[in-house]
């Protein structure tokens, strides 16, 4: 996708619909109208997400000698978040539409230009009602009917009527003037209505702990963590003291984070409850910048390994002035979602900011003693911080394909296929007896299912014609289907006994494999 803002709404709608239909992702509390910004992963989504997390953990913790794992608590001591700067500092500018009361992120409103219509109030002649209140509407299209601005203004003033029998149309607007506006952000792009002034909106979820919780007792206040990173910093000393680690080394964590986002949107992309996969990689100060580049390359390679197209991944080198004040280097890794190019992960060089702050606020030393140089210093940190749900969404968007298999002159035939890399695919293999009413086939298929089940997620299906069953598996991205047929029973050709047909999802090609080789055949392809 060449253009950063290029979107494909139809494709996105199809993906959202497939996610619900096949059990990848459901809206949380859908039964009760939905909990905005929260999502539940259905059976297939849960497998997909687990596979992603397992793969990330394997690559970043288990296959490395220099990274250790952590699983910190979600409930977070307020002192931790005071030290980190989240309390009092973790907010987004928010404004409200004066007409619809819709809440918008002030920093995400695209600048608009046009003619603004200003009014000082409105009145209703027959009833003698009037209101004095300034209000404006922006018309941002050339040659737009100016009555549209007046209609919007009347709808706004009608909110103050006591008598709801009076139609907004019957109001008289007062004090109309106009002005030409360029690149302004104080009007709602959806309806042109004036917005309130931006004000800070606290993004953290606060809660009270303990049975005697008193709303005003500061010691009873805790927060749902807004990032997993802080418990890594706070446990840094315990990790160093309990493990023989030498710089550079990292601590990795996968877990939930919570942010009371003003505008959750784009399916799971911006949620209020989400999971992060974060590494804090501690190093000597002189190595920080170099390691940031190393981690960027490492993380890009990871996304390719799990199946994201290299062409759809973009690196943004965040310029001076836009980075956090303590960061000398930050890269954002972005992906071409159907709703535009958006952030998947940040790779940030955070210097000694975090450990320095926690040392200062806790009064406990967090320095590292270098045995070789006999120096004591606060380690610097490079932080690759990935969104788990965003990566799952990217995997789903990448995998979704509609393949036209219509034969010349034949009936329209479009195959929906999720082309997941086998390492993340929710179901690794489907076991399908050719016929369900042939007990020998069913028994053999069950044997194969039980052979594979301890090692991977296997789906057994005996309902419907084999072609339809293949298509059902294509739609959920199962890379391999194993068919148990008459040849497996060796009734006609003894040399084929105990062999199965493996059907490949992507090419739809088939090959014959002995049941005794099946496990190793699959292992080679699914890790």
Which positions from 331 to 360 touch ligand GAP by CB under 6 A, shown as an x/- string?
------------xxxx--------------
Whether residue 444 contacts residue 401, with contact meaning beta carbons closer than 8 Å, is answered with no
The pair of structure tokens assigned to 456 is: 């991977």
Q: What is the DSSP string of 436-464?
A: TT-HHHHHHHHHHHHHHTTTS-EEE--SS
Choice between 122 and 388, CB closer to ligand GAP: 388
- What tokens appear for 98 in the block? 């004066």
Choices 209-217, 270-278, 295-303, 498-506; region in contact with ligand GAP by CB under 6 A: 270-278
Kindly state the smallest distance separating residue 304's Cβ from ligand GAP, in Å.
17
Buried b (16+ CB within 10 A) or exposed e, 137-148: bbbeeeeeeeee
Q: Which of residues 371-410 bind ligand GAP (CB under 6 A)?
A: 383, 385-387, 389-390
CB of 255 to ligand GAP, least distance (A): 11
CB of 203 to ligand GAP, least distance (A): 9
Shortest distance, position 345 Cβ to ligand GAP, whole Å: 5
| CB neighbour burial string for 167-181, b if at least 16 within 10 angstroms, e if fewer | ebeebebbeeeeeeb
For ligand GAP, which is the closer residue by CB, 258 or 420?
A: 258
Terminal CA-to-CA distance of the chain, rounded, Å? 29
Task: Supply φ then ψ for residue 460, to 5 degrees.
Answer: -105, 130
Q: Is residue 276 a contact residue for ligand GAP (CB under 6 A)?
A: yes
Which residues 168-227 are close enough to bind ligand GAP by CB under 6 A? 227
* Nearest residue to ligand GAP, scored by beta-carbon proximity: 387
Closer to ligand GAP by CB, 47 or 280: give it: 280
- The smaller minimum CB distance to ligand GAP, of residues 59 and 415, is found at 59
49's tokens: 């997400």
The tokens 């953990």 sit on which residue?
57
Nearer to ligand GAP, 223 or 274 (CB): 274
3-state secondary structure at position 232:
helix
- Report, in Å, the least distance between residue 274 CB and ligand GAP: 4
Compare residues 87 and 155 and give the one whose CB is closer to ligand GAP: 87
d(CA 154, CA 254): 51
Per CB under 6 A, the list member of 259, 357, 421, 428 interacting with ligand GAP is: 259
Report the alpha-carbon distance of residue 329 to residue 287 in Å, rounded: 13
Which of 22, 272 has the CB closer to ligand GAP?
272
Question: Considering the complex, what minimum distance in angstroms separates the CB of residue 260 from ligand GAP?
Answer: 9
The verdict on whether omega for the bond into residue 330 sits within 30 degrees of 0, i.e. cis, is: no
Which one of the spans 176-184, 273-281, 417-425, 428-436 is the region binding ligand GAP (CB under 6 A)?
273-281
Closest CA to 365 of 356, 374, 375: 356
Taking Cα atoms as reference points, which of 96, 152, 98 lies closest to residue 122? 152
What is the CA 78 to chain-centroid distance, rounded? 26
Nearer to ligand GAP, 335 or 459 (CB): 335
Closest separation between CB of residue 482 and ligand GAP, Å? 36
User: Count of residues binding ligand GAP (CB under 6 A)?
Assistant: 19
195 with 98: CB under 8 angstroms?
Answer: yes
Tell which one of 231, 271, 478, 501 touches ligand GAP (CB under 6 A).
Answer: 271
Task: Give the residue, chosen from 139, 229, 417, 518, that forms a contact with ligand GAP under the rule CB under 6 A.
Answer: 229
Q: How far is the CB of 4 from ligand GAP (least distance, A)?
A: 17
SS3 string of 23-65? CCEEECCHHHCCCCCCEEECHHHHHHHHHHHHHHHHHHHHCCC
Count the alpha carbons within 13 Å of 44 in the hemisphere toward its beta carbon: 24
Q: How far is the CB of 343 from ligand GAP (least distance, A)?
A: 5
CA angle centred on 289, ends 286 and 290, rounded to 5°: 90
- Least Å distance, CB 207 to ligand GAP, is 19
Closest contact distance (angstroms) between CB of 273 and ligand GAP is 8
Nearest-approach distance from CB 346 to ligand GAP, in angstroms: 4
Tell me, what DSSP letter sits at residue 128?
T
Query: Is 261 a residue that touches ligand GAP (CB under 6 A)?
Result: yes
CA dihedral 279, 283, 287, 291 (to 10 degrees): -10
49 binds ligand GAP (CB under 6 A): no
Judged by CB under 6 A, the residue of 270, 357, 472, 503 near ligand GAP is 270
Residue 329 binds ligand GAP (CB under 6 A): no
Q: Which residues bind ligand GAP (CB under 6 A)?
A: 227, 229, 259, 261, 270-271, 274, 276, 278, 343-346, 383, 385-387, 389-390
């Amino acid at each position: 996708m060449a253009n950063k803002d290029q979107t494909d709404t139809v494709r996105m709608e199809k993906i959202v619909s497939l996610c619900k239909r096949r059990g990848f992702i459901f809206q949380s509390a859908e039964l009760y109208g939905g909990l905005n910004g929260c999502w539940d992963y259905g059976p297939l989504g849960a497998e997909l997400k687990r596979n992603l997390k397992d793969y990330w953990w394997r690559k970043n913790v288990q296959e490395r000698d220099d990274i250790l794992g952590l699983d910190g608590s979600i409930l977070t001591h307020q002192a931790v978040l005071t030290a980190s700067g989240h309390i009092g500092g973790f907010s987004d500018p928010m404004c409200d539409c004066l007409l619809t009361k819709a809440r918008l992120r002030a920093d995400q409103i695209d600048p608009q230009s046009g003619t603004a219509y200003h009014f000082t109030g409105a009145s209703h002649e027959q009833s003698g009602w009037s209101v004095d209140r300034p209000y404006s509407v922006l018309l941002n299209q050339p040659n737009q009917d100016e009555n549209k601005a007046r209609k919007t203004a009347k709808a706004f003033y009608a909110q103050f009527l006591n008598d709801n029998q009076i139609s907004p149309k019957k109001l008289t607007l007062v004090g109309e003037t106009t002005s030409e506006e360029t690149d302004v952000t104080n009007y709602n792009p959806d309806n042109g209505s004036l917005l309130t002034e931006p004000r800070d909106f606290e993004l953290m979820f606060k809660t009270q702990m303990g049975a005697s919780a008193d709303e005003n007792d500061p010691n009873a206040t805790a927060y749902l963590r807004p990032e997993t990173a802080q418990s890594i910093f706070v446990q840094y000393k315990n990790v160093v003291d309990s493990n023989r680690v030498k710089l550079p080394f990292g601590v990795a964590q996968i877990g939930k984070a919570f942010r009371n986002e003003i505008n959750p949107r784009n399916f799971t992309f911006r949620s209020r409850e989400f999971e992060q996969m974060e590494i804090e990689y501690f190093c000597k100060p002189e190595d920080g910048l170099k390691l940031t580049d190393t981690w960027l390359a490492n993380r890009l390679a990871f996304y390719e390994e799990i199946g994201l197209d290299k062409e759809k991944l973009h690196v943004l080198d965040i310029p001076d002035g836009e980075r956090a004040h303590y960061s000398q280097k930050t890269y954002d890794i972005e992906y071409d979602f159907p709703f535009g190019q958006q952030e998947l992960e940040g790779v940030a060089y955070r210097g000694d900011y975090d450990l320095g702050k926690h040392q200062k606020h806790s009064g406990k030393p967090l320095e590292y003693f270098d045995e070789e140089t006999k120096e004591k210093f606060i380690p610097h940190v490079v932080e690759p911080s990935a969104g788990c749900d965003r990566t799952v969404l990217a995997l789903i968007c990448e995998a979704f394909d509609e393949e036209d298999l219509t034969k010349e002159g034949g009936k329209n035939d479009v195959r929906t296929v999720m082309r997941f890399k086998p390492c993340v695919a929710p179901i690794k293999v489907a076991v399908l007896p050719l016929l369900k009413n042939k007990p020998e086939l069913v028994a053999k298929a069950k044997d194969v299912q039980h052979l594979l089940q301890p090692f991977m997620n296997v789906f057994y299906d005996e309902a419907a014609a084999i072609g339809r069953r293949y298509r059902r598996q294509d739609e959920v991205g199962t890379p391999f289907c194993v068919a148990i047929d008459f040849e497996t029973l060796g009734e006609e050709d003894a040399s084929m006994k105990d062999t199965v047909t493996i059907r490949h999802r992507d090419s739809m090609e088939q090959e014959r494999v002995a049941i005794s080789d099946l496990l190793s055949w699959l292992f080679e392809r699914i890790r």
